Amino acid sequence: MIRFQHVTITYAGSIEPTLRDVDLAIAEGELCVVVGRTGAGKTTFLGAINGLVPHFTGGHLAGRVVVDGRDTRAHPPRDLADVVGMVGQDPLAGFVTDTVEEELAYAMEQLAVPADVMRKRVEETLDLLGIAELRQRPLRTLSGGQQQRVAIGSVLTPNPRILVLDEPTSALDPTAAEEVLSAVTRLVHDLGITVVMAEHRLERVIQHADHVVLLDGAGSARHLLPGEALASSELAPPVVRLGRLAGWHPLPLSVRDARRLAAPLREELAGCSTPVVLAPAPGAADRRPLLDAHDLVVRYGDVLALRGVDLAVSAGEVVAVMGRNGSGKSSLLWALHPAGRRQGGSVRVDGADVASARPPQVALVPQTPADLLYLATVDEECAQADREMGREPGTCRALVDRIVPGIPGDRHPRDLSEGQRLGLVLGVQLTGAARVVLLDEPTRGLDHLAKERLTAVLVGLAAAGHAVVVATHDVEFVARTAHRVVVLAEGEVVADGSTAEVVVASPAFAPQVAKVLHPEPWLTVDDVAGALAGAGVDR
Amino acid sequence: MRLPRPLHPGAWWVWALGLATAASRTTNPLLLLLVVAVVAQVVAARRTDAPWARGFAAYVHLGLVVIAIRVVFRMLLDGQPGGHELFTLPELPLPAAAAGIRIGGRVSVEGLLAALYDGLRLATLLLCVGAANVLANPKRLLKAMPSALHEVGVAVTVALSVAPQLIESGQRVRAARRLRGEGGRRRHLLREIGLPVMTDALDRSLLLAAAMDARGYGRTAAVAHRTRRLTGSFLIGGLLGICIGTYGLLDSTAPRPLGLPMLIGGMALGWAGVVVGGRRVPRSRYRPDPWAAPEWMVAGVGLSVAGVVIVVSSRDPSGFYPSLAPLGWPALPVVPMAAIVLGSLPAWLAPPTRVRAPRARAGRPAVEQPA
C-alpha cells in the first residue's frame, strides 16, 4: 500500500538528511505506529506519505514514495486526497468551515463528489465515529476528543485507503484518548483502512499496533513487529519494561497480556516490604503548608470553572492535578497566580497574601510556553528575565543550565526542541526566586527522555524546598513524579490523597504497572525493581 | 404541508435590493415608513434562530443614528434665511476666510424636514440590506457563488474565522505576559504581544494551508487552451463593457446605446466568462440550496416592487417628493403604496423556518426535517 524506496529527505539549509535511505513497505490494512524521539523525523515520515514533504514543506527527496500505485513525485497532496487522509497534531488548526457537517463534506466538495453521494457518506461517517449528535455544532465548541474525531471524519469522507495521524491523542485526557483510539482501531478492523500513526505515549497505542516503524534519530527507519522493536528499545512503555524485568516471554504489550503472566510476580512481591512510594521531604506533613489556597472561585461568563476549591501544598511536595479536559485544571493553576483571574477566595504563600508578595512568590509555566518568549535569542530572553525580576545578570542563564544543560545561547527560542523550550521558560519563571512552581500540561509533546529529565527537575525543585503543582493527563508521568494527586471534576475536588491511594484503583488514572499488579499498590517499574533487589531476588 | 427549509440566500437579496431600489426613488416619509414596516414584518415572520439572524435590532439602531446625525448636522450647519423659523441657535462667529459657512443660527421647519426625509431614506436603505443579512446566512451566499469564484469564497470564510482566533491568541499571550511581571513598558507592547501573536497566526495559517492541501483544495481540471482563451476574452470584454456603460450612463451627453445597453451587455459577457472559467474548478456542493418556486416568487416580488415604483415615479414624480415650499402634508400615492404593501408577501411565500406542532391531525407522527 505504501512503499518507500531508498528515500532520503534533506530539508533546505540543513546538511544532514532527516531521513536517510529509508526502504520499507506498509501493507494494506495495517496499523503502523511510528516511534522515535523528538526530532527523529516522525512528522517528516508521515508528511512524505501524502506528498506534503516535499511539495508543501520544501526540501529534497531522493528515492521514491509510492502510495497505492501513485508516485508522490508526480502527485501533489491535493491529488492524493482521495487515497490518503491526513490529520495533523492540532485538529482545530486544520478546520476550514465552522460546523461539523460542513467540515465532513469539505473534502468531498473539493473532489467534486456528487451531492447525493456526499449526503450519504456524511451520514455514514457521523455514525462510524459516533458523532451524529454533534452534526450542527460549531467546531470551536467541541471538546478535544470530539474535535479529534471530527478531524478524522473529515478526511475519511472521500473514502481514502490510508489514514495518517500525527499524535492524535497528545492533547487528550485518558478517556478521550481511549475514545479516539477505539474509533481508529474500528476503522482498521471493520473497514480495512491502513493507519499510520505517530505517538509518543506508546503505552496507549502499542497494543493495537501490527507493526512499528522505529526511527533511530540518525535518519534510518526500520519496519518491525512491536515485540521486536520494543524488546531492546529505551522507548518501551512500562508494561514492556516490567515484562523485561520479570523475564516474561513473549513480551506482553497490553495490560491484559501482562496480567495473565503476572501471578508469580505478584506472589513474589507480596512478600516484599510495602512499596517505596515517593515520600515527601522529611517533616513536610507537620509543617504549615507553603501554599495555602482557600475557597477559589473562577467564572467565565455563566460557566463556573472552579467552585470553591481548597488546595494546600507543603514545601518539598509535588502535587499532580488531574481530571478530564475542561474540569478546571488550568483555571486552578491560573487562579493560584496573582496575574490570573479569580472571582473569589484567597491564596497565601507562607502566610502572606500572594498578590502583594515582593518578589513574586509564584511561578507559572503556561500550556504554550512559547507565549512568554518574544526575543530573538536565548541569551536575550535570559538577560530580559534578570532585568524584569531585578536579579544580577546571569541568574536566569545559570538556572536554565541547571534545568536543561547545553542550550546554545544564540539560538532562537522557536528553534529549540519542546523540552528545551520548556526548560527555558521554567528558568525564566524561576528567576524571581518564586517558591511555588505551577506547570500546566508540561509533558505535551515531550518524548520519554525529556519527561524523565522533567521528573528529575521537578523532584529536585521539591527537594530544594519548592512547592510544585503540575496539571497533567499523563498517568505514567504522575506515577513517577507526584507525591500527591488532586482530581478535579466540574470545578470541584473529587479526590485528594497520596498518589498510590488515588490512582491505583482508578480505571482512568491508574498507571500500567498498577493495573498489572493490582491490588498491590505498585506504581512504577523502578519501585518494583527496587523492592525485588531489596528482597534479594536475583534478576 | 409546506416543509420548513431555508430560502436561497440569493432570493432574499434580490427581494431586499428591490425594496431598497424602491426606497431610493422617494423621500416621501409615508412610503418610506411603509417600506420599513414591510421589511420588519417579513423579518419577524421568516428569520431563524441562527446567530446572524439576531442582528435586526442593531440595524434599526444604526438607522436611528443615521437620522439623528443627519438632523443634528443640518441644524448646526444650515442657517439659511427663508422658510418658517422654528428657533435660532447661537451663531459661532467665523473669520472672513470661511465665508459661506455658518455654524448655528436660524433653524427652519423646511430645512429640518428635508434632513429628516433624507435621513429616513438612508435609514430605510440600511434596513433593507440589514434584512437581507438577517434572513440569509451570509456564508451560504458565498457558497452559492459560481465555481470560478470558489477560491475567493474560501478566502473570505477563512478570513472570518481568523479574527476570533487572533483575539484568542492575543488574550493568551497577554496573560502570559503578565506572568513575567508587568515590567514591560508601553513602547514594547507591540513587540511583546504583537510578535508572539503574529508568529502564532503565521503558524496556524501554515497548518491550515497544509490541511487544505491534503484535503484536495485547489485541484484543477485540465481544460483546453481554447477554453482558457475564451474565458480571458469574455472577462476582459465584459469589464470593458461595464466601464464604458457606466461612463455612458453617468455622462448625459453620451449617445444612449453607450449607457444602459452597454452596461448590461458587459455584465452578461463577464458572467459568461465566470461560468466558462468555472470549468477549470471541478467541485460539487454539499446540500445546495435549491432555486424553486418560492425563490422565483420572492425574487419576483422584489423586482416587481422596484419596477412599479420606478415606472410610476418617472411618469409622475410629484407624490414621491413631498413639497417643502409651500409646506404640506405628504400625499400617499395609491399605486406605489399598493406595490410596497405587496412587498410583504414573502412573509407567506417563503417556506417556514421551523415546523409548527400539527394542530388538527393528531395521531400522525410529526415529520422530522433537517434544517
Residue extents of the structural domains in chain B: 1-144+288-352, 152-218, 223-287
Identify all chain B residues contacting A111, using CB atoms and an 8 Å cutoff: 216, 219, 283
pTM for this predicted structure: 0.81
Mean pLDDT within A327-335: 92
Q: How much is the pLDDT for A538?
A: 52
Which candidate in A78, A90, A135 is best for mutational testing of the B interface (most B CBs within 10 A)? A78
Cell 432570493: give the residue.
B11
pLDDT at B262 over 90: no
Q: How much is the pLDDT for B149?
A: 77
Question: d(Cα A72, Cα A84) in Å, to the nearest integer?
Answer: 11
Above pLDDT 90, what percent of chain B?
30
Cell 528499545: give the residue.
A233
Question: d(Cα B78, Cα B331) in Å, to the nearest integer?
Answer: 26
Question: Who has greater pLDDT, B83 or B339?
Answer: B339
Which candidate in B147, B160, B180, B208 is best for mutational testing of the A interface (most A CBs within 10 A)? B180
Q: How much is the pLDDT for B361?
A: 47
pLDDT at B342 over 90: yes
Tell me how many degrees the CA angle A129-A133-A134 measures, rounded to the nearest 5: 80
Mean pLDDT within A356-368: 86
Task: Say if CB A428 and CB A375 are below 8 A apart.
Answer: no
pLDDT at B365 over 70: no
Which amino acid belongs to residue A186? R
Give the chain A residue nearest B202 (alpha carbons).
A93
Query: pLDDT tens digits for A157-180?
Result: 999 999 999 999 888 888 888 889
Taking an 8 Å cut-off on Cβ atoms, the answer to whether A115 and B288 are in contact is yes
pLDDT at A352 over 90: no
Q: How much is the pLDDT for A7?
A: 94
Above pLDDT 70, what percent of chain A?
96
Which candidate in B161, B286, B287, B368 is best for mutational testing of the A interface (most A CBs within 10 A)? B286
pLDDT band (50, 70, 90) for residue A156: very high
pLDDT band (50, 70, 90) for residue B182: low
Identify all chain B residues contacting A132, using CB atoms and an 8 Å cutoff: none
Q: How much is the pLDDT for B368?
A: 46
Question: d(Cα B359, Cα A304) in Å, to the nearest integer?
Answer: 41
Identify all chain A residues contacting B211, using CB atoms and an 8 Å cutoff: 86, 88, 93-96
Q: Is A111 on the interface with B (CB under 8 A)?
A: yes
Q: How far is B131 from chain A (nearest CA, A)?
A: 23
Q: How far is A73 from chain B (nearest CA, A)?
A: 15
Q: How far is CA B31 from the centre of its chain?
A: 21
Question: d(Cα B217, Cα A112) in Å, to the nearest integer?
Answer: 11
Least Cα distance to B189 among B202, B170, B206 occurs for B170
Above pLDDT 70, what percent of chain B?
92
pLDDT band (50, 70, 90) for residue A527: confident
| Global ipTM | 0.86
Query: pLDDT tens digits for A443-491?
Result: 988 888 889 999 999 999 999 889 999 999 999 999 999 999 999 999 9
Quote the cell numbers at residue B138.
451570509
Query: pLDDT tens digits for A444-456?
Result: 888 888 899 999 9
Q: How much is the pLDDT for A193?
A: 94
pLDDT band (50, 70, 90) for residue A274: low
Identify all chain B residues contacting A102, using CB atoms and an 8 Å cutoff: 286
Above pLDDT 90, what percent of chain A?
49
Q: What's the mean per-residue pLDDT of chain A?
A: 88
Q: How much is the pLDDT for A223?
A: 93
Question: Who has greater pLDDT, A263 or A278?
Answer: A263
Mean pLDDT within A30-34: 95
Q: How much is the pLDDT for B281?
A: 78
Q: How much is the pLDDT for B87?
A: 81
Give the chain A residue nearest B287 (alpha carbons).
A115
Which helix (H) or strand (E) covers residue A421, if one does?
helix A418-430
Question: Who has greater pLDDT, A28 or B255?
Answer: A28
Task: Say if CB A48 and CB A59 are below 8 A apart.
Answer: no
Question: Who has greater pLDDT, B106 or B44?
Answer: B44
Query: pLDDT tens digits for B41-74?
Result: 999 998 887 777 778 888 999 999 999 999 998 8
Nearest to A56 among B177, B213, B282 (CB): B213
pLDDT band (50, 70, 90) for residue B269: very high
Query: pLDDT tens digits for A57-77?
Result: 889 999 999 999 999 999 999
Q: How much is the pLDDT for B369?
A: 47
- In order of their start, the domains of chain A are 2-235 (3.40.50.300), 291-513 (3.40.50.300)
CB atoms within 10 A of CB A223: 18
pLDDT at A401 over 60: yes
